[in-house]
Amino acid sequence: MERTLGLIKPDAIAAGHTGKILDHILQAGFRIVGLKMLHLSRVQAETFYAVHRERPFFESLVQFMTSGPVIAFVLEKPDAVAAYRDLMGATDPSKAAPNTLRSLYGQNIERNAVHGSDSLENARREISFFFSEAELLALETPAFSAV
């Protein structure tokens, strides 16, 4: 079993897509083992996206990610990182495959509805950024899942 971090970004929350996105994730066979809503501070957003600090879009990304609440969640499934990245679709919603989260709910390359870890190593780092071990369900604990 593998875990990955996902975020529902401020644009998708403001547009009222939270429930549809979570349902789409559950229907794809993921188990949600941690879930919280928060409003990132500037320092939190800068720290989380520090890998992009030298990129030209860093400042607008930080402004966007602090513009409203986000929902952070931890997903569990075999090969979760790759499976969730497939479900999200390409970063640019106009290039994302049909029925991916970004094709359905993203507006543009910056306001693309969701985030997901890009490697198992980053998933571990990103999960620990948002969640303590105590906040995550153990493997045998019932969790949110599709019925």
pTM of the model: 0.91
Top-tier CATH class for 2-135 = alpha beta
Which pLDDT score, from 0 to 100, does residue 25 have? 98
Token pair of 123 as six digits:
């998933």
In the predicted structure, residue 146 carries a pLDDT above the cut 80: no
Q: Which helix (H) or strand (E) holds 11?
A: helix 10-14
Which band of pLDDT confidence, cut at 50, 70 and 90, is reported for residue 40? very high
| Summary mean pLDDT of the chain | 94
Catalytic residues: 115
> Per-residue pLDDT for 147 more than 60?
no
| Euclidean distance between CA atoms 49 and 15, whole angstroms | 23
> Residue 138: which pLDDT band, with cuts at 50, 70 and 90?
confident
Average pLDDT, stretch 29-47? 97
CA 79 to chain centre: 16
Structure tokens at 141: 């604990």
Asked if pLDDT for residue 45 goes beyond 60, the answer is yes
